């Protein structure tokens, strides 16, 4: 992209295909380097410390960026994380289709929030962060629909925190969606692009 500066080099500290696709569709040049973070342990510690889901998402996003960034001033590392919260329950990615079925039954007919955090680090320092909080209301779909949906999406559902892909068949699950589409997919893109312009990465 002609309006992206040569330095700093952008790195996405995530293995998420959705986040990678969002940056690619925006025309950015970047490398992908997933960070090895024990998210389960970090979430357990955060809950024990009384942290909110929103603060925990920011913590996890920063841990990922920190692992990759080191102290290299030539890198601008993007870390992101997303937690799904319904009532007081935090949802993790389902481990299999049976788990996905249970998640969707628990979310059916209810409104949930996605705490979607993004952090940028450069030279060992956090230079920017943002938290988006999209709200989604699932319709009261039937058991027959649920089984057809699970069969249609298959194991792809285990890659998403809510057992749905809004960019695919998951759109049929909802009555109402509030928030930036990219933030629902896992990365608040418009605020990130705004920061990259302010930081001189983009013109």
Question: Could you tell me the residue ranges of all domains in the chain?
Answer: 9-198
Catalytic residue among 62, 72, 74, 81: 81
Q: Is 180 exposed, middle or buried (0-12, 13-18, 19+ CB in 10 A)?
A: middle
CATH class of 9-198: alpha beta
| Residue 203 in this model has a pLDDT that exceeds 70 | yes
- Determine the pLDDT at residue 36: 86
- Determine the pLDDT at residue 8: 95
Query: Is residue 81 among the annotated active site residues?
Result: yes
| Residue 1 in this model has a pLDDT that exceeds 70 | no
The whole-chain average pLDDT of the chain stands at 95
- Determine the pLDDT at residue 189: 98
pTM of the model: 0.93
Cβ atoms 68, 77 nearer than 8 A: yes
- Determine the pLDDT at residue 2: 79
Question: pLDDT per residue over 130-153, tens digit each?
Answer: 999 999 999 999 999 999 999 999
81-104 mean pLDDT: 95
Q: Is 97 exposed, middle or buried (0-12, 13-18, 19+ CB in 10 A)?
A: middle
**What is the separation of C-alpha 88 from the centre of its chain, rounded to a whole number of angstroms?**
19
């Amino acid at each position: 992209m002609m309006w992206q500066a040569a330095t700093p080099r952008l790195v996405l500290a995530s293995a998420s295909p959705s986040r990678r696709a969002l940056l690619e569709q925006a025309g950015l040049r970047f490398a992908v380097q997933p960070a090895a973070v024990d998210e389960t342990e970090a979430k357990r510690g955060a809950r024990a410390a009384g942290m909110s889901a929103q603060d925990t998402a920011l913590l996890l996003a920063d841990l990922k960026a920190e692992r990759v960034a080191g102290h290299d001033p030539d890198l601008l590392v993007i870390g992101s994380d997303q937690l799904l919260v319904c009532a007081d329950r935090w949802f993790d990615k389902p481990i299999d289709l049976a788990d996905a079925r249970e998640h969707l039954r628990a979310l059916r007919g209810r409104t949930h929030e996605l705490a979607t955090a993004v952090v940028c680090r450069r030279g060992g320092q956090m230079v920017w962060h943002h938290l988006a909080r999209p709200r989604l209301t699932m319709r009261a779909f039937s058991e027959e629909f649920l089984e057809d949906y699970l069969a249609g999406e298959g194991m792809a559902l285990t890659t998403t925190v809510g057992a749905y892909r809004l960019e695919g068949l998951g759109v049929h699950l909802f009555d109402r969606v509030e928030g930036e589409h990219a933030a629902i997919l896992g990365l608040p893109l418009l605020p990130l692009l705004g920061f990259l312009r302010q930081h001189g990465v983009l013109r």
